[in-house]
Amino acid sequence: LDSLLQEIPSVLSRSGGVISLPERGDLLCRKMSEDVKAQAGRPSGPTIFSKILDGSIPTTFNHEDDKCVEFKDVAPQAPVHFLVIPRKPIAMLEEAEEEDAGVLGHMMLVVKKVAKEQGLEKGYRVVINNGVDGAQSVYHLHIHVMGGRQMTWPPG
Cβ partners under 8 Å of residue 130, min gap 6: 92, 93, 94, 136
Ordered DSSP codes for 30-75: HHHHHHHHHHH-PPSS--HHHHHHHTSS----SEE-SSEEEEE-SS
* pLDDT tens digits, 1-41: 344 444 444 443 443 443 333 344 444 444 446 666 556 66
CB atoms < 10 A from the CB of 132, how many? 13
How much is the mean pLDDT over the chain? 83
- Please report which confidence band the pLDDT of residue 45 belongs to, taking 50, 70 and 90 as the band edges: confident
pLDDT at site 11: 40
Of 81, 106, 140, 142, the catalytic one is 142
pLDDT single digits (tens) 111-122: 999 999 999 999
For the cut 70, the answer to whether the pLDDT of residue 154 exceeds it is yes
What phi, psi does 81 have (nearest 5°)? -150, 110
What does the pLDDT average to over 64-72? 98
Neighbours of 141 (CB within 10 A): 27
In this structure, are residues 135 and 156 in contact, taking their beta carbons and an 8 Å threshold? yes
Give yes or no: 81 in active site: no
Q: Which of 10-14, 73-77, 106-110, 138-142 has the lowest mean pLDDT?
A: 10-14
C-alpha distances (whole Å) from 120 to each of 65, 83, 146 are: 22, 15, 9
Q: How high is the pLDDT of residue 155? A: 84
pTM attached to this predicted model: 0.75
